[in-house]
Amino acid sequence: MVTLARQLFLQTRWFLRAGCSKQQAIELVSRKNARILGIDDRLGVLEKGKWASFICWSSDPFDLASYPAAVYGEGELLFGDEAGRCDGLN
């Protein structure tokens, strides 16, 4: 399942305007959607054995100055440094 980045930005922006925290907005487009669709056994959270597609940001992902530091698709590093590490980022 792929959602365009622009759609995620627009969706999370509306959740923030409705009073959700940043954490709640991210959960609404990831974990909770997977549960509603009945695919939470494979998607929705970062756990061993699940398909991991996610982005590590240089800073707050809601800040327009932040940028992707690493991108993973189904557990494989698609973009980022050779180590593919997300730790140490602000």
Question: What does the DSSP assignment read for 68-85?
Answer: EEEEEETTEEEES-TT--
- Nearest alpha carbon to residue 52 among 31, 35, 83, 69: 31
For the chain, what is the domain count? 1
**Is 19 contained in some domain?**
yes
The 10s digit of each residue's pLDDT in 16-45 is 999 999 999 888 888 888 888 898 898 888
**Is 51 contained in some domain?**
yes
Q: What is the DSSP letter of 25?
A: H
Mean pLDDT of all residues in the chain? 82
Residue 90, pLDDT > 50, answer: no
For the chain, the residue count is 90
**Is 86 contained in some domain?**
no
**Is 40 contained in some domain?**
yes
**Is 88 contained in some domain?**
no
The answer, as to whether pTM is greater than 0.85, is no
**Per-residue model confidence (pLDDT) at position 18:** 95
* Spatial CB neighbours of 50, under 8 Å, sequence gap ≥ 6: 41, 42, 43, 44
**Is 17 contained in some domain?**
yes
10 is in which domain, residue-wise? 5-79
